[in-house]
Every structure is written in structure tokens, then in C-alpha cells.
């Protein structure tokens, strides 16, 4: 692989390149460098790359280069396995489209906000991001028209097959023009992917970014434990020794996940859990709090190891080792992104040595085993968040933008930019990270003040 190149030689246009530079996209990642020329050429494509490889920007830039702004029927459709991934993809596409205010991107995934989005759809949208089940229903009801579609994207295609969306995807494709471009991105290539490609694509180009290349920036350490009962004490030693700013801990089951999060909170460690049985609104809030740095530790089942674009995770802990090598790669791929050094800490029992040997062969590396007694002695400690999350009862339906909220906080509430963390705008509400020292002041001023001339409800999320 040659040294990564810049975006200026792709013919994207000066405005797009300038926006990319402002976002910190100076050189292409390997998947972008390999895939973008094919995408811009209009070829069908199969791209093998994990979450965090830059694939969203690869297909996102390809879409934006083809959009006719004057034509408001959907010209690009991106299918994702989960609502969370769809929301993340939508956010990234909007960032990439900041060079113009005229491109409309809409998520369609089901849930309590969908009546507002259905109304938005009546006014047109250039790019649709959604889950297969919801998109199929809207097409069948004729609420969504994709006759003008230029590009169909399948993101995390292997995950969609695991969730049983094969029939829905083929049904959706039947509503789209035959001459569309189809882009398929997948972390792995199970047999079903080949069949899906054969039914949807025409002589696709194929690009692959190998797992080892993506894991070069992750320090992987393995810690032996004698039994399951020793794991929690071992986890506390790891958190005490490394004190990561943010940590994702993976467990095999919802029961272990919930129990572990409760134990951590008793130890004064800021922790939340996420698993498949949480209601959608609760999942969204948990992920928002973790992203906003108002939660230090996220305890997760593997529902969160795929299809979520969570940035800046300092460390990943495998409290329970996964059953498959691919799943191990997906888990630890949450850390060490955008050129930052990541940390993966895995607990294992003696009977799991075979899995370690398999990982070493799979990733062509030597597993580094560290004894827990070589870490500094454990002393009681706490991991408290630096931020708290507040909610505002205003969202995209109110034409609220992050700049509107930031302006209200820095002008009226007199906070500084460093007091305000991530701002997430949803259809009917918004969440904002505020430093713990300033959160009460922010709520007080926003409760009596206005955002874009209107008053909204404000409180701690």
C-alpha cells in the first residue's frame, strides 16, 4: 500500500475539499484511497472494512458528488442494520455536506419520532438513511419514492444478513432503477454476501482493508484469571492501573452486563449498560451520554460491538472473551481510531488458551500475556465523568442546529466553548454535554432564555 494521498486529486471540487480540510480530513484512509476512485467512476463496489476505517466518508463523498440539488426526490439510499448506525451515518453525511446548506439528509428507522420524519419526507430529501424494515414498509405504502435513485448503499451488510434482512433488502432493490450504482460494505464475507452481491450488483470492483492494518494502533494485552469469580476484582485492578478516560467493557450476556454495571456503580465508577432488551429511547440516551463524556464506562453485550460509531474510546475490556475471532476484532476496533493509540485489555481463563492461540494466528501476532500482580497495588478509587448531559425539547423539526444551541449557551448563559461538549440533534429533542461545574448554570439560563426566539423545556437527561 502506498502512502495515503490527499483528497484534492479526486476531482471532488474546491468547496468539498475545503470542507474536508476544516473537518480534519487531510489524507485518505486506506479504504477511502482504494474505494473512492471506483465510487466516483460509477462502478458497483464491494468494500471490506470494519467500522472506524473511514468507509462512511468514502461512500458519503461519492454520494455527494452525484447529488443534483435542484432535484428533491431521493437520489441516494443508505441501508444500515441498526437505528444507531443510521443516525451516526446521517450525522457524518451532514458534516461532509456542510459545504452547502441545500442538501437534505433524512433518517427513516421507525420509533416515536417517525411521524415527524414522515412529514419531513413530504417536503423531499436528497439522501435517505434507514433500516431495511422501515424503508420497505414506506416503499410498500408508497410514502417513499425511489424512482430517481442513483446510488444504493448497504452498510454493515454482513450484520444485516445476520439480522435476517436479506428478503427486505431484495424487496427494496426491486423498487429502485436498474441502472443504479450499488455499494456494499461489509466487515466479513460470509457466503450470503456473495449471493447478495450477485443479486444486486453488476461486475463490482472489490477492495479490502485487512484487519491487521486496522489494529496496528491498538495495544493488545491479555490477563489470566483463575475463574469467573476473580474477574470483577481483576477488572477493578485494570481500571485502577490504566485509568482510561472512556472504556467499553464487553460481556457475553445481558445478565452479566447489568450485574457488572451495578457493581461498578457501587464502586463509585460512572457506568451505564447497553444490551438488546433496552428500549430504543433508552439505548439512544445511554449512547449519547457515553459519547458526551458524561459516563466513563459503557458495559455492553455484542449488540454494541457492531453498527455503532462511537469515537474516542480510550480502552476496550473483554470481560468475557467472544466466541469468534471476527467478533474480537469488531470489539477492539472501537478503540485506536483516527491515528490515536488504543488499548485492549482481555481477561481469560486457562481453558480459553486455545482462543488466544487462534487470535494470534488470525492476526499474525504474538499475544502479550500480563500477570495481574505486576500491576500497581489496588486501592479504592473513583471514576467520575467530567460532563453531564442535558436535554432540550427542540430538534430538527424546530430547525435547530448545533450552532443555535452553542450560541445560546455561550452568549446568554455565558459559558465558554470548553464548557460545552458534544451536541446531538434528534428529530424532536437535543442532548448537550456540559461540564459538571457549569451544568446547573446552563439549565438555569436556558430555562428562562430562548433559542432562536423560542422557549423550550430544559433539564438533566
Evaluated on CA atoms 72, 116, 55, 181, the torsion sign reads negative
Q: What is the pLDDT of residue 339?
A: 65
Per-residue pLDDT of the chain (461 residues; tens, 9 = 90+): 344 578 888 888 888 888 888 888 888 888 999 999 999 999 999 998 776 678 899 999 999 999 999 998 999 999 999 888 888 899 899 989 988 878 999 999 876 455 556 667 777 899 999 999 999 999 999 989 999 999 999 998 988 988 899 999 999 999 999 999 999 998 777 778 888 999 999 999 999 886 555 677 889 999 999 999 999 999 999 999 999 999 999 999 999 999 999 999 999 999 999 987 888 788 888 988 998 899 999 999 986 656 566 777 999 999 999 888 878 888 888 888 766 789 999 999 999 999 999 988 888 888 999 999 999 888 888 889 999 999 999 988 888 988 899 988 988 777 888 899 889 888 889 999 999 999 999 999 898 888 988 999 999 98
The reported pTM is 0.76
H helices within 267-410, ranges in order?
Answer: 280-291, 325-332, 353-363, 402-407
250-260 b/e (C-beta count within 10 Å ≥ 16 → b): bbeebebbbeb
**What grid cell was written down for 441?**
448554570
Q: What is the pLDDT of residue 308?
A: 65
Q: What is the pLDDT of residue 112?
A: 47
Was domain 7-209 assigned CATH 2.40.10.480?
A: no
Q: What is the pLDDT of residue 211?
A: 56
Please indicate whether the domains covering 215-374 and 387-460 agree at the CATH topology level.
no
CATH number for the domain running over 215-374: 3.40.50.300
- Locate the domains of the chain by residue range: 7-209, 215-374, 387-460
Helices (H) and strands (E) in the chain, counts: 17, 18
Nearest to 173 by CA among 48, 83, 44: 44
CATH number for the domain running over 387-460: 3.30.70.330
**3-class secondary-structure state, position 377:** coil
Do 197 and 183 form a contact (C-beta atoms < 8 A)?
no
**What grid cell was written down for 256?**
452479566
Amino acid at each position: 500500500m502506498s502512502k495515503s494521498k490527499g483528497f484534492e486529486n479526486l476531482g471532488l471540487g474546491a468547496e468539498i475539499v475545503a470542507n474536508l480540510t476544516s473537518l480534519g480530513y487531510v489524507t485518505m484512509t486506506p479504504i477511502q484511497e482504494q474505494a473512492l476512485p471506483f465510487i466516483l467512476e460509477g462502478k458497483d463496489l464491494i468494500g471490506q472494512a470494519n467500522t472506524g476505517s473511514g468507509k462512511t466518508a468514502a461512500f458519503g463523498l461519492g454520494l455527494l458528488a452525484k447529488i443534483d440539488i435542484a432535484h428533491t426526490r431521493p437520489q441516494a439510499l443508505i441501508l444500515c442494520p441498526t437505528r444507531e448506525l443510521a443516525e451516526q451515518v446521517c450525522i457524518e453525511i451532514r458534516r461532509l455536506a456542510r459545504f452547502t446548506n441545500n442538501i437534505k439528509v433524512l433518517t427513516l428507522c421507525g420509533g416515536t419520532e417517525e411521524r415527524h420524519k414522515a412529514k419531513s419526507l413530504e417536503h423531499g430529501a436528497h439522501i435517505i438513511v434507514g433500516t431495511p424494515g422501515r424503508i420497505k414498509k414506506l416503499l410498500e405504502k408508497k410514502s417513499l419514492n425511489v424512482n430517481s435513485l442513483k446510488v444504493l448503499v448497504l452498510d454493515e451488510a454482513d450484520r444485516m444478513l445476520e439480522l435476517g434482512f436479506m428478503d427486505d433488502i431484495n424487496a427494496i432493490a426491486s423498487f429502485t432503477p436498474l441502472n443504479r450504482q450499488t455499494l456494499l460494505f461489509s466487515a466479513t464475507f460470509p457466503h450470503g454476501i456473495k449471493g447478495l452481491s450477485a443479486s444486486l450488483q453488476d461486475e463490482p470492483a472489490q477492495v479490502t482493508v485487512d484487519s491487521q492494518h486496522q489494529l496496528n494502533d491498538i495495544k493488545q494485552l491479555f490477563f489470566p484469571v483463575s475463574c469467573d469469580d476473580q474477574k470483577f476484582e481483576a477488572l477493578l485492578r485494570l481500571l485502577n492501573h490504566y485509568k482510561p478516560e472512556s472504556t467499553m467493557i464487553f460481556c457475553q450476556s445481558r445478565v452479566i452486563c447489568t450485574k457488572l454495571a451495578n457493581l461498578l456503580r457501587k464502586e463509585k465508577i460512572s457506568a451505564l449498560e447497553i444490551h438488546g432488551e433496552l428500549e430504543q429511547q433508552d439505548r439512544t440516551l445511554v449512547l449519547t451520554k457515553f459519547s458526551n463524556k458524561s459516563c466513563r464506562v459503557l458495559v455492553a453485550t455484542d449488540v454494541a460491538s457492531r453498527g455503532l460509531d462511537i469515537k474516542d474510546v480510550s480502552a476496550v475490556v473483554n470481560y468475557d472473551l467472544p466466541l469468534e475471532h471476527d467478533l474480537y476484532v469488531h470489539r477492539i476496533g472501537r478503540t485506536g481510531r483516527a491515528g490515536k493509540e488504543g488499548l485492549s485489555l482481555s481477561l481469560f481463563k486457562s481453558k480459553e488458551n486455545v482462543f488466544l492461540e487462534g487470535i494470534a494466528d488470525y492476526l499474525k501476532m504474538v499475544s502479550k500475556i500480563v500477570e495481574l500482580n505486576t500491576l500497581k497495588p489496588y486501592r479504592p478509587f473513583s471514576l467520575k465523568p467530567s460532563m453531564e448531559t442535558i436535554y432540550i425539547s427542540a430538534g430538527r423539526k424546530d430547525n435547530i442546529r448545533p450552532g443555535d444551541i452553542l450560541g445560546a449557551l455561550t452568549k446568554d448563559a455565558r459559558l465558554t466553548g470548553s464548557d460545552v461538549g458534544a451536541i446531538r440533534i434528534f428529530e424532536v429533542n437535543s442532548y448537550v454535554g456540559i461540564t459538571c461545574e457549569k451544568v446547573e448554570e446552563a439549565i438555569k439560563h436556558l430555562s428562562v432564555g430562548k433559542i432562536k426566539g423560542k422557549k423550550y423545556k430544559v433539564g438533566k437527561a
